[in-house]
Amino acid sequence: MRRSKRLVLLSKFLIENPNRIFTLKYFGEKYDAAKSSISEDLNIIKDAFYEAGEGILETIPGAAGGVRFRIKKPGEKIENFLSELCKILSDRSRIIPGGYLYMTDIIFSPEYSSKIGEIFAQIFVDKDPSCVLTVETKGIPLALMTAKALGVPLVVARRDSRVTEGPSVNISYVSGSSQRIQNMALPTRALSENERVLIIDDFMKAGGTARGMIELVRQFGAEVVGVAVLVATALPVEKLVKSYTSLLVLEKIDTERGEVNLRPVKFL
Amino acid sequence: MRRSKRLVLLSKFLIENPNRIFTLKYFGEKYDAAKSSISEDLNIIKDAFYEAGEGILETIPGAAGGVRFRIKKPGEKIENFLSELCKILSDRSRIIPGGYLYMTDIIFSPEYSSKIGEIFAQIFVDKDPSCVLTVETKGIPLALMTAKALGVPLVVARRDSRVTEGPSVNISYVSGSSQRIQNMALPTRALSENERVLIIDDFMKAGGTARGMIELVRQFGAEVVGVAVLVATALPVEKLVKSYTSLLVLEKIDTERGEVNLRPVKFL
């Protein structure tokens, strides 16, 4: 195979398998080429991705070594994206009676959810999560795309245990904002005690749901390595979780005036 | 920018924006290159993707023309994947008391859900769907990945209408297998009457849920262009929907013997 074609296929493979280590030997056999040629290909890909701000191709030394593609966009690129997102979400037509903001179309959009998932992955990749956890329903697309960008599985807690998923661990918790008792369930086979869990959700107000998920992870004896949401409300300032990351902060929705005050967090 | 780097970045862009038309002019400006150079790049990418069975790069003539990348894998590759999936899902440890099959980890896995979504997209791309519809919860990952591969939005029906999503269309329907009355709700702003809707779900037994989704789409005055599920049970033979596609057929789960009889559909 000629270099130009190999570059195309190697790029595709690396993009579709982020955060995983592959050896030069593996690629050499896959594309029927000498390791030295593969090495040159990878250098070209590395430079192209780096210069375009798409990600980094790392060389891992040692017996278990190889190369690994990690999505890493420059802070400016991320900030521009989040500003654009704020602009879209701040449209007055999105205000729902009762003081809510309609975000479902953005959260469920493959285009936006994949970009948001890549940002979450970039923030938490160094914490080395082994899986992503969310609770149904609206957190699922963001959590799935985060898991995809990290190259790890997704685990989804349900509101009730399901007969189709076998024995489960169930917890009850008090929702921080509505003060109602809520349930959350996760099949016993969905999580093991060695997992390093990244918790992802779409929205946080008081943080009760996130705290519920942390409690659920503890019941399995696993570890939470991060909690992140797309949007957190500015109030209450004190959330029920000690530490969390949000990409956007919702300061206020003024239903009367038709004004939404939403801003990106400066975190990079 | 040199050809080799352009090939890497162009490949990445096309893979991440499937099923959408881009002009040579657009790429020329994006990568600061002459249209003739871009044209040569695209020919190399076209050949590489085609020969590796990854997809086709089509040239669309005319004023609104350009190039479009469509995922199209050879039948053999898809059959191998579905056979592997059957093998994984037929493991006796997946049998849940009550005669169910634990598939949640596969359905929620970014790796498998993206491959399954690409197959659905390949089957239905010629029906020109403008959005993908599913109902919460387990259909969401497959539907999201199908929408991503088609380059269209995802719409998710809920079991109850939500105050946070504004006015909604609600329907009640009788579940085909349990004969219970179920609800389904979709915000009025989530779907318009011009949409061409592809319905995706994880599982079909009698087809009541799929029929419910078809009814919901009709309430919006939109058109259903296809119905597809990952797994359909062999029985009942007559489903509540006239026409549907399933990738796998579940013949039988023998809880006593610990045997699962699951097979891929020959559809290509």
Residues A185 and A165 in one domain: yes
> Does A166 contact B97 at a Cβ distance shorter than 8 Å?
yes
Question: Strand, helix or coil at B192?
Answer: coil
Residues A234 and A187 in one domain: yes
What pLDDT, on the 0 to 100 scale, is given for residue B204?
97
> Does B144 contact A104 at a Cβ distance shorter than 8 Å?
no
The CATH number of the domain holding residue A103 is 3.40.50.2020
Q: Is the dihedral of CA A255, A256, A258, A262 positive or negative?
A: negative
Residues B130 and B254 in one domain: yes
> Does B156 contact A137 at a Cβ distance shorter than 8 Å?
yes
Q: What is the pLDDT tens value at each position of chain A, 268 positions in all?
A: 799 999 999 999 999 999 999 999 999 999 999 999 999 999 999 999 999 999 999 999 988 889 999 999 999 999 999 999 999 999 999 999 889 999 999 999 999 999 999 999 999 999 999 999 999 999 999 999 999 999 999 999 999 888 889 999 999 998 877 788 999 999 999 999 999 999 999 999 999 999 999 999 999 999 999 999 999 999 999 999 999 999 999 999 999 999 999 999 986 5
Contact of A240 with A258, CB cutoff 8 Å: no
> Does B45 contact A158 at a Cβ distance shorter than 8 Å?
no
The CATH number of the domain holding residue B18 is 1.10.10.10
Q: Is the pTM of this model over 0.90?
A: yes
Average pLDDT, chain B: 95
Which residue among A71, A91, A110 closes a domain?
A71
Q: A55-60 and A100-101: which strand pairing?
A: unpaired
Cβ neighbourhood burial of B6 (10 Å; 0-12, 13-18, 19+): buried
Question: Any bridge partners for residue B135, and if so which?
Answer: B157
Residues A21 and A105 in one domain: no
For residue A37, give every residue at least 6 positions away whose Cβ sits within 8 Å of its Cβ, in sequence order, or none: A3, A6
B137 upstream amide cis, omega within 30 of 0: yes
Residues B49 and B83 in one domain: no
Which residue among B71, B99, B124 closes a domain?
B71
Of B15, B97, B113, the CB nearest to A12: B15
Question: Any bridge partners for residue B168, and if so which?
Answer: B187
> Does A165 contact B104 at a Cβ distance shorter than 8 Å?
yes
> Does A8 contact B156 at a Cβ distance shorter than 8 Å?
no
Of B7, B140, B153, the CB nearest to A8: B7
What pLDDT, on the 0 to 100 scale, is given for residue A267?
66
Interface predicted TM-score (ipTM) of this complex, two decimals: 0.96
Residues B36 and B125 in one domain: no
| Distance from C-alpha of A57 to C-alpha of A49, rounded to nearest angstrom | 8
Q: What is the total count of domains within chain A? A: 2
Residues A194 and A212 in one domain: yes
Contacts of residue B116 in chain A, CB cutoff 8 Å?
Answer: none
> Does B54 contact A114 at a Cβ distance shorter than 8 Å?
no
Question: Cα-atom radius of gyration of chain A, to the nearest Å?
Answer: 21
Contact of B230 with B202, CB cutoff 8 Å: yes
What pLDDT, on the 0 to 100 scale, is given for residue B62?
86
CA of B140 to nearest chain A CA: how many angstroms apart?
A: 7
What pLDDT, on the 0 to 100 scale, is given for residue B96?
94
The DSSP string of B31-57 is TT--HHHHHHHHHHHHHHHHHTTSEEE
pLDDT tens track for B92-111: 999 998 899 999 999 999 99
CA of A202 to nearest chain B CA: how many angstroms apart?
A: 13
Range of the domain at A32: 3-71
Residues B136 and B238 in one domain: yes
What pLDDT, on the 0 to 100 scale, is given for residue A62?
86
Residues A100 and A19 in one domain: no
CA of A144 to nearest chain B CA: how many angstroms apart?
A: 6
> Does A144 contact B148 at a Cβ distance shorter than 8 Å?
no
Contact of B203 with B231, CB cutoff 8 Å: yes
What pLDDT, on the 0 to 100 scale, is given for residue A268?
57
Q: What percentage of chain B carries pLDDT values higher than 90?
A: 91
A-interface mutation test, from B4, B152, B198, most A Cβ less than 10 A away:
B4
Name the nearest CA neighbour of A72 among A123, A113, A21, A22.
Answer: A123
Contacts of residue A201 in chain B, CB cutoff 8 Å?
Answer: none
Which residue among A26, A53, A71 closes a domain?
A71
Find the residue in B nearest to A100 (Cα).
B164
Residues B48 and B113 in one domain: no
Residues A31 and A122 in one domain: no
What pLDDT, on the 0 to 100 scale, is given for residue B231?
98
Of B54, B101, B140, the CB nearest to A140: B140
- Amino acid at position B251, single letter: E
Task: Give the mean pLDDT of B181-210.
Answer: 96
Please determine, for residue B268, whether its predicted confidence score (pLDDT) is greater than 60: no
Residues B41 and B141 in one domain: no
